[in-house]
Amino acid sequence: MMHQEILQRAIEIAKDAGRLALEHFNNRDKLTIDNKGYLDFVSEADCNVEAFIKSQLLAAFPNHGFKGEESGGAFAPPCWVIDPIDGTTNFLYGRPDFCISMGFVDEAGPAIGIVHAPVHGRTVYAVRGQGAFEDGKPLQPREASDTELVINLTFNYKTGNADDFLKKVNMIVANKYQIRDCGSAAWALCQAAMGQVDGAYNGNVNIWDALAGLLICKEAGLEARDFFEEKGSMYAYPKGSPLKDILVPMF
């Protein structure tokens, strides 16, 4: 099956999953909520949406594997890597910046990325080597500049992130740039790809947080972190941007 055929069916699944997520969002006061770590929530909505996506993908693509944030699974291409609700804290607090993130990986690496933000009613997607789009229109990131930049600097409390975050805050302030934290790693990347911010960064994220968004950024023409299989820092910025010196980790 060609990537475009896979893409079209997967977009339908993402939008159906978004409708299910919205049902839970509108009744979030009734949800059962658990904690996977400090300020790392999981609700029955996350689990229900992931179960729906998994069942639909396996029915449509029985030869594809599955790895999800909530139910696990093996990373064994060809496979899907899913975050059913990226930005769960936003979701539970009634904030609109959460999304369904779906990435497909074949033997050559990331091949398809789909991010659907149901409250915003927006779906952005990319196929390897074919560009990044919303409703058939190519995404247009911002061009490189060195003044009055706006950066999505998303934060979590995983090991080492506090020092890394504060270091980047100091560098951004020293350059008189502005900071945003949309609260969703995948949507932060998409906002960079759509030109709503100049760049994006989040330290120590999981593969399901970043796979789809990084492919979308690369296909939109941004410099972005290469694919990783487990955990890593994610970043994206326009080619030639001074943000490289701030956002790319130095090891």
CA atoms within 13 A on the CB side of 214: 26
Torsion of CA 26, 121, 141, 179, to 10 degrees: -20
User: Low-confidence residues of the chain, pLDDT below 70?
Assistant: 35-41, 250-251
pLDDT, one tens digit per residue, over 59-115 is 999 999 999 998 999 999 999 999 999 999 999 999 999 999 999 999 999 999 999
Per-residue model confidence (pLDDT) at position 40: 55
Kindly report the backbone phi and psi dihedral angles of residue 161, in degrees, each rounded to the nearest multiple of 5, phi listed first: -75, -30
Per-residue HEC secondary structure of 215-251 comes to: HHHHHHCCEECCCCCCEEEEEEECCCCCCHHHHCCCC
Complete DSSP assignment for 87-100: -HHHHHTT-S--EE
CATH match of 150-247 with 3.30.420.60? no
Which tokens belong to 89?
A: 């804290």
Kindly report the backbone phi and psi dihedral angles of residue 4, in degrees, each rounded to the nearest multiple of 5, phi listed first: -65, -35
* Domains 3-138 and 150-247 belong to one CATH topology: no
Judged by DSSP in three states, 203 sits in strand
Per-residue model confidence (pLDDT) at position 36: 57
CATH match of 3-138 with 3.30.540.10? yes
Q: How far is CA 43 from the centre of its chain?
A: 19
Question: Residue 20: which of 50, 40, 59, 41 has the closest Cα?
Answer: 50
Torsion of CA 79, 84, 86, 87, to 10 degrees: -170
pLDDT, one tens digit per residue, over 9-26 is 999 999 999 999 999 999
| 150-154 vs 199-206, strand pairing mode | parallel
Which tokens belong to 159?
A: 């090991």
**Cis bond leading into 78, ω under 30°?**
yes
Report domain extents, the chain. Answer: 3-138, 150-247
Per-residue model confidence (pLDDT) at position 220: 98
Per-residue model confidence (pLDDT) at position 31: 80
d(CA 11, CA 33): 28
Amino acid in position 99: C
